[in-house]
Amino acid sequence: MTQNLRIICKQRPQGIPKPEDFDLINAPELTLGQAQLRCKIRYISLDPYLRGKLSGRHLSGPIHPGDPMISETVGEITESQDPTFQPGQYIRAFTPWQHEVVINAADAILIDPAIDPLSLQIGALGMPGLTAYAGMIRLAHPGPGKTLLVSAASGPVGSSVGQIGKIQGCHVVGIAGSEEKCNWLKSSLGFDSTINYKTQDLREALARQCPNGIDIYFDNVGGDLLTAAMEHLALNAEVVLCGLMEQYNKDQPSPGPSPGLVIKARATVRGLVVYDHEDLREQFLAQAKLWLKNGQIQFKEDVSQGLESAPQAFARLMAGQNFGKAIVKL
Ligand SMILES: NC(=O)c1ccc[n+]([C@@H]2O[C@H](COP(=O)([O-])OP(=O)(O)OC[C@H]3O[C@@H](n4cnc5c(N)ncnc54)[C@H](OP(=O)(O)O)[C@@H]3O)[C@@H](O)[C@H]2O)c1
């Protein structure tokens, strides 16, 4: 009988993971119980989030040294103890990285055997594809004439984002890290233009390729790419924070507000300019007067006396020494 080998995490990677951080061992012997399936693993999905799990920082939980590496896989059922699954069918499930597994039937999802290759169901038609679709169709509002910028553009998420953008009529600019990737994006996928962030001046290229600003930035990287894209946002732009390739290999998060916190909280971040909301003034006044009258809101003023006190009062305000609305009474 051939060995059933398994890959485990041997030690927490420092920086970019190395083969030495993993080990190949014999998997424990498998026994097939009620409502379980025996499967031969045909494809294993490798995804950036696994790096976060290896650091113990991913929202789906950690992978510790000694643990098997687990991710989404495509398996072929060889034996079934569940009447809804038959040998020869293909499933996707989260399983250890090993040749053969036994899993609970309840954790397996049948996949379409007609899709060739089957691996598409853990790629462009799987989680990464869904990520792109959800971001573009539910969170952003792509449309004709809009400029869409996407980073890590040649990966399964980024390439799907760009192509959905083209289908929706956007002008699509992709950021990628090699000429080969950039050429593929333009010649095969129909991206309008690309930026090789490793060889080009990013900000100059963004100004040239997005002359009216970026309407949608789909961020897979964070760091300086995010900063540069933010510097070129068009009015009412939409930013979808999806991934943090720039951070995953670091021991400590980069300083400053982390997009990771926004992602984890599924938060919506909106820019506010009060002048855009003048139409609310009457409604606001009526409501706030009532709240004030009923004692539901209170106010505090920090009142300085006389015109000549204004510079000092302003200095106090900017030094954080005011307490309440800074006012000068003449
Ligand atoms: N929010 C979610 O639910 C969700 C779901 C799925 C994926 N994601 C995120 O989406 C992003 C893309 O995922 P994917 O599966 O499509 O991966 P991917 O693009 O195939 O692989 C990562 C790519 O990121 C690029 N990259 C940019 N800066 C990098 C850096 N500092 N270090 C290493 N690589 C860098 C590399 O391409 P270049 O040559 O172009 O640099 C690399 O090929 C990831 O950030 C992932 O975590 C998020």
Checking if the pLDDT of 142 tops 70, the result is yes
Checking if the pLDDT of 1 tops 60, the result is no
Q: Computed over its alpha carbons, how large is the radius of gyration of the chain?
A: 27
Q: Is 47 in the pocket of ligand 1 (CB under 6 A)?
A: yes
Of the pLDDT bands very low, low, confident and very high (cuts 50, 70, 90), residue 255 is: confident
**Structural tokens at position 232:** 């070129």
Ligand 1 center to 49 CA (angstroms):
9
Q: Is 220 in the pocket of ligand 1 (CB under 6 A)?
A: yes
List, for residues 160-216, the tens digit of each pLDDT value.
999 999 999 999 999 999 999 999 999 999 999 999 999 999 999 999 999 999 999
Q: What pLDDT score was predicted for residue 9?
A: 96
Q: What is the mean pLDDT of the chain?
A: 92
Nearest alpha carbon, ligand 1 atom 21: 155
Nearest alpha carbon, ligand 1 atom 33: 245
List, for residues 85-139, the tens digit of each pLDDT value.
999 999 999 999 999 999 999 999 999 999 999 999 999 999 999 999 999 999 9
Nearest alpha carbon, ligand 1 atom 18: 155
Q: Is 244 in the pocket of ligand 1 (CB under 6 A)?
A: yes
Q: Is 221 in the pocket of ligand 1 (CB under 6 A)?
A: yes
Atom of ligand 1 nearest to the CA of 243: 45
Q: What pLDDT score was predicted for residue 288?
A: 87
10 Å Cβ neighbour count for 64? 12
Residue pair 304/323 in contact (Cβ under 8 Å)? The answer is no
Ligand 1 center to 7 CA (angstroms):
23
Q: What pLDDT score was predicted for residue 258?
A: 81
List, for residues 3-42, the tens digit of each pLDDT value.
899 999 999 999 999 999 999 999 999 999 999 999 999 9
Average pLDDT over residues 147-153: 97
Q: Which of 45, 125, 217, 220 to mutate to test the pocket of ligand 1 (most atoms within 8 A of CB)?
A: 220
pLDDT above 70 as % of the chain: 100
List, for residues 265-311, the tens digit of each pLDDT value.
888 887 777 778 889 888 988 998 898 899 988 888 899 998 888 88
